[in-house]
Amino acid sequence: MTTHLPLYLAAFAVALGVLIVVHEFGHYLVARWCGVKVLRFSVGFGKVLWMRRFGADGTEWALAVFPLGGFVRMLDEREGQVAPHELPRAFNRQSVWRRFLIVAAGPAANLLLAVLLYWFLFMQGSEELRPILATPPAATAAAAAAIEDGETVLSVNGRPVTTWQELRWELTRVALDHVPVRLEVVNQRQEISIRLLATDAVEEDDLAKDLPGRLGLRLYRPHLAPVVGEVLPGSAAEQAGLRTGDEVLGIDEAPVTEWHEVVGQVRKSPGATLRFAVKRGDDVLTLKVMPSRADEQGQAVGRIGIVVRNDPAQHALLFTSVRYGASAAFGKALRQTWEMAGFSLRMIGRMLTGDLSWKNLSGPVTIADYAGQSARMGVLPYLNFLALISISLGVLNLLPIPVLDGGHLLYYVAEIVKGGPLSERVMEIGQQIGLALLLMLMAFAFYNDINRLISG
């Protein structure tokens, strides 16, 4: 992360800015629609760095020094004197249903952003790995299920999958409940079978790491000659002098015959110096390559920035092009957002009941790391990250914790049931409890960030 710190910080700042503006703009638009006067729209808290007035109401648009949030300040008798002619435009004078809509609009805007981003991504399309399985390691759930080399997964517990990423997602959904995984597979002889995988051995940390690997599901690898097809600009490989067309003969005097051997050695050597023996034309050269360090699902891995030489036949076997029309993409975007939001709530529920460790909670440092990693991978991965974080922010804000939007919504539900607003004393106590819970969550998140940095 430190090597690309400016990019990581910029990616995090852009993501944070977009999510805050979208969230607060949701509050702002619905407040205006309900006739409420908006006094200030602020990105950030604390000292104001920049401010301008716009609109018929002279709304203040501000940028403040602490950018970890924002707010929309509305006309409200509880916060100061309100002129008699403006009382109908005060937030506190609105019906409970209007107040509910205004508060709910922030999280709803974040969820809507995720839908729109996924819609664009599904229409844009991408090339993804097919869910083709390799021979599983011994003593794994996949081995016990008699998975064969080259079998392609068709569905997981009845839900169709067409890519490796979809397989990972469905496995995570199922494994969270510790129920058996039912794989429908087709082998190279076009015979369809059902494989049952036990999930008893799955631990909570596996959900955030290599869950397929924990079950013994490995990606099928045909023979790939260790020939470099592309060297990424600015990469460790370019700095070491590797070129397109180089054939890797060995690493640290160990012979290499398969591309995956190169990948495996590089991945397990972040920050170490590797001696590559490469054949270039008729010459054999020795090059010193130091893999850069990257975080992948909480683990440090090495990368040097090379791509295997493309074999069209093998490429067609391993990859599939996934693209949807506008209507199908929108439906898939809605389902994706709904499922991700539901999964986030389930994870939070498991943490509250003690079934899942609080170590799974991420703070700003980890999020900044993910932002930077996705930005390095390209625009589309970054937009996918933005959609995921937008869902997380929307779900978090809907939690019934006073201080958060969900806490205010809880008050309004109580007001509807009770037939009148809760007392100021009850709401004040609720705010204090909510603030304590929020600070505790933030402390857990920062603690986890520090632990991840220390452990690497």
Catalytic residues: 24
Q: For the residues of 393-406, what is the DSSP string, one character each?
A: HHHHHHSS-TTSHH
Q: Which residues lie closer than 8 Å to 281 by C-beta, 6 or more apart?
A: none
Say how many residues make up the chain: 456
CA angle in degrees (0–180, nearest 5) for 234-239-243: 95
Q: Cα torsion at 180, 181, 184, 185 (round to 10°)?
A: -120
Helix (H, G, I), strand (E, B) or coil at 143: helix
Token pair recorded at residue 381? 């991965």
Copy the structure tokens of residue 115.
Answer: 């839908």
- Residue 296 contacts residue 208 (beta carbons within 8 Å): no
- Contact by Cβ (8 Å): 229, 310: yes
Give the span between the Cα atoms of 230 and 242, in whole angstroms.
10
The CA distance from 267 to 358, in Å, is 28
* DSSP assignment string, 320-338: EEE---HHHHHHHHHHHHH
Per-state percent for the chain, helix, strand, coil, to nearest 5? 50, 20, 25
Collect all residues with Cβ–Cβ distance below 8 Å to 307 and sequence separation of at least 6: 228, 229, 230, 231, 232
**Cα distance between residue 27 and residue 362, in whole Å:** 26
Which residue from 45, 103, 37, 99 is spatially nearest to 70, judged by alpha carbons?
Answer: 45
